[in-house]
A and B are shown apart, each in its own frame.
Chain A
Amino acid sequence: MTTLQTDTLADTPVPATEEPALALASQRTLIWRRFKRNKLAVVSLWIVGFIYFTAAFCEFLAPQTQDTYASDRAYAPPQLMKVSLTSSPHLFVNGYKGTPNPETLLRDYTVDKSQRYGVRLFAKGDHYKLWGLIPSDRHLLGPSQPGAPFHLLGTDDQGRDNLSRVIYGTRISMSVGLIGVSAALVLGLLLGGISGYFGGLVDGIVQRVIEFFMSIPTLPLWLGLAAAVPPGWSALKTYFAITLILSLIGWTGLARVIRSRFLQIRDEDFVLAAELDGARWHRVVGRHMLPAFTSHIIASLTLAVPGMILGETALSFLGLGLQPPVVSWGVLLSGAQSIRVLTAAPWLLAAGAAVVIAVMALNFVGDGLRDAADPYES
């Protein structure tokens, strides 16, 4: 159970093997115990952990690189992985035959049962550099014979492996969420904190600023800012710019949550005690108040990530967000929104399934955390 620790919960302590008595347990331990009782949230946490793991090691996990293509395999349907129960049991996929159809300008594929391609772990395949540093050509799963067709989720118009692209998209889409939320958190903490702690005029001003941001329809903000990203910028720079734009729109909600928490806690005795001890305000906030609602912040953050992911999808759909050749779930989905996809290549909607799974899992985790962090909960 110690492996439960993931990126999202980096500071959630691993429960000690010998659990302290309830009365002595720290706040964190209590929360963790309550969280564990929520089965759905725990399962979701595993899923979220798995998704971020995928994002981190996408080069290794994907059977191909995101840009490996095969002209004779355009819009190839998914292959079924089968088990061969011969003397040496192994996995294999059948090959297919694609005949060009001059009417529809597509290939008609038929599965060729006689052709068998073995599938193995740590297969040799495309060369890549993990995180742009470590060169390798091993892939977690792949055909034993490099270059053989192996498309568990089919291929796209250029014959690129859809599964690999969804896996590569994980890195961009999930990190958009994380980075965007971090930026939003900084803004939200700063402004929400100041507002909640100082109250009075400062609070009034910050509240007006937040209201102001909430009153502007998001579309002009998106468009105005996304269009203002200079066309000469590199893909990476554009990516960060888009992420910042998303967070600029997302921070207001967080700021409001943090402010209301601050307002609640400010009148508690322990804060007064700290102030009477002569602690300066940043110490009061940093040492005494923040820890009291970290769990709430984490919960709100977890709930904010899916919003960012969906935001990225929507922006790409409008043609304003990330653009190919960058591969994100949003980019994959915006390329999949045609009838051809729905009729001829429905497997390209897999990116949509990835979005749904990731967003749901994050929501469940966030919900579970929020419930667990609630001190009134029995």
Chain B
Amino acid sequence: MAGYLVRRLLAMLPTVLLISLVSFLIIQLPPGDFLTTVVAKLQQQGQTVGSDQLAALRAQYALDKSPLEQYFRWMTNIVLHGDFGQSFQYNKPVSTLLGERLPLTLGLGLATWLIGWTVALIAGIYSAARRYSKLDYVITALTFLGLAVPGFLIALTVVYLEFKLFGVTLSGLVSPEFEDASWNLGKLLDLLNHLWLPVLVLASGGVAGTIRVLRANLLDELHKPYVTAARARGLDERKLLMRYPTRVALNPFIATIGWTIPALFDGEVLVASVLGLETTGPLLLNALKSQDMYLAGGIILIACVLTVIGTLISDLLLAAVDARVRIGYGGSSK
């Protein structure tokens, strides 16, 4: 097992490097660079920037180097000094900016994920076990609706309804008066009051998909002979459902936990921009638009690393849950 872990970890390195390199190049696909915006601003202030001055500025920011060279410099600094570079736009180290936003992003992601999964598990299992019952139809209808309505539309409508019905407009994660207040019950309640909407909106799309697939997987399993066999031996229906078919039906999900991570970083960008959440999504969007490449690159790099780690964890989890997979590993580690 330890050997497997080491090998997996080593195999991760090239993947991460490759992904970060490609993303770094993609960021620079659009014409121009960060200085374009800077120069436009200077000119609006009545300052003409000549081409020689522009060249000097480019050199100052090392923008005159080729993208590949820029990438290698950046990577070297990360590896040797843990320095993710500077955001041009915010004039701050990328690591600081990430440090400010990551907790919120991950917290929001985790809350969405937990709530989404709890709901999806219960609804999916129920829906499959009591197929074609009234509640199954309700769940099915709701999930399809959740899949079909664009998240930003839900967010926009709920914000408006809140205004219309309660005369409040929630934005951000805490009310301004609580922002620099220390933590107390009021702030916690206020946070929850702001949090439910984004969590609801973000979860709605994901939950719907999960319920659908879980239901289908479970239905497949329920027809398998081993279930019939277990039932014939008089196993309690609830135990029967939870012990085997559900576990097997969950496998595909466990296997894809890792893939849900990149969406954490940008999946909420639409919802976040409607609701005014300062997560990494809008940060990444802005960074990409203004070609603040170290910032954008840094966010993508972290997303990549987490994704790869997530994949590893889900593989390990899979092995822990499913004996068949475990045996497979034993064979391959020879």
Contact = CB atoms under 8 A, between A and B. Distances in A.
Nearest to A376: B223
B62 interface: no
A372 to B, nearest CB: 13
Given A211-B311, A219-B288, A220-B26, A314 B223 contact: no
Given A211-B15, A215-B19, A216-B22, A224 B152 contact: no
Contacts of A352: 149-150, 153
Contact of A215 (B144, B149, B307): B307
B194 interface: no
Contacts of A314: 150, 152, 270
B296 A214 contact: no
A214 B15 CA distance: 12
A369 to B, nearest CB: 12
A316 to B, nearest CB: 10
A154 B315 CA distance: 54
Nearest to B304: A215
Nearest to A229: B30
B220 A337 contact: no
Contact of A363 (B148, B152, B216, B300): B148
In terms of DSSP, what is the predominant structure of the interface of chain B?
helix
Contacts of A360: 144-145, 147-148
A359 B270 CA distance: 19
B63 interface: no
A337 B212 contact: no
Nearest to A260: B252
Given A212-B19, A228-B30, A363-B144, A356 B149 contact: yes
A310 interface: yes
A217 B266 contact: yes
A363 B149 CA distance: 12
A26 interface: no
B160 A219 contact: no
Nearest to B212: A367
A294 B149 CA distance: 29
Nearest to A370: B216
A225 interface: yes
A144 B1 CA distance: 79
A309 to B, nearest CB: 9
A306 B147 contact: yes
Given A216-B19, A313-B150, A225 B29 contact: yes
Contacts of B300: 216-217, 220
A228 B27 CA distance: 10
A378 B27 CA distance: 51
Contact of A218 (B216, B266, B308): B266
Contact of A376 (B26, B148, B220, B285): B220
Interface string A347-369: 00100100111011001100100
Contact of A223 (B145, B157, B216, B289): B289
A220 B153 CA distance: 22
Contact of B152 (A227, A337, A342, A377): A337
Contacts of A9: none
B23 A220 contact: yes
A140 interface: no
Contacts of A355: 148-150
B206 interface: no
Contacts of A220: 23, 26-27, 266, 284, 288, 296, 300
B71 interface: no
Interface in A200-228: 208, 211-212, 214-221, 223-225, 227-228
Given A215-B307, A217-B300, 17 more contacts: A212-B18, A215-B15, A215-B262, A215-B304, A216-B22, A219-B266, A219-B284, A219-B285, A220-B288, A224-B30, A225-B26, A318-B285, A356-B145, A364-B144, A371-B216, A376-B220, A376-B223
28 contacts: A211-B15, A211-B311, A212-B22, A214-B259, A215-B15, A215-B19, A218-B266, A219-B285, A219-B288, A220-B288, A220-B300, A224-B288, A227-B29, A228-B30, A306-B147, A306-B148, A314-B150, A314-B270, A318-B285, A342-B160, A357-B148, A360-B147, A360-B148, A363-B144, A363-B148, A367-B212, A376-B223, A377-B223
Interface of A: 208, 211-212, 214-221, 223-225, 227-228, 306, 310, 313-314, 317-318, 333, 337, 339, 342-343, 349, 352, 355-357, 359-360, 363-364, 367, 370-371, 374, 376-378
Interface of B: 15, 18-19, 22-23, 26-27, 29-30, 144-145, 147-150, 152-153, 156-157, 160, 212, 216, 220, 223, 259, 262-263, 265-266, 269-270, 274, 281, 284-285, 288-289, 296, 299-300, 303-304, 307-308, 311
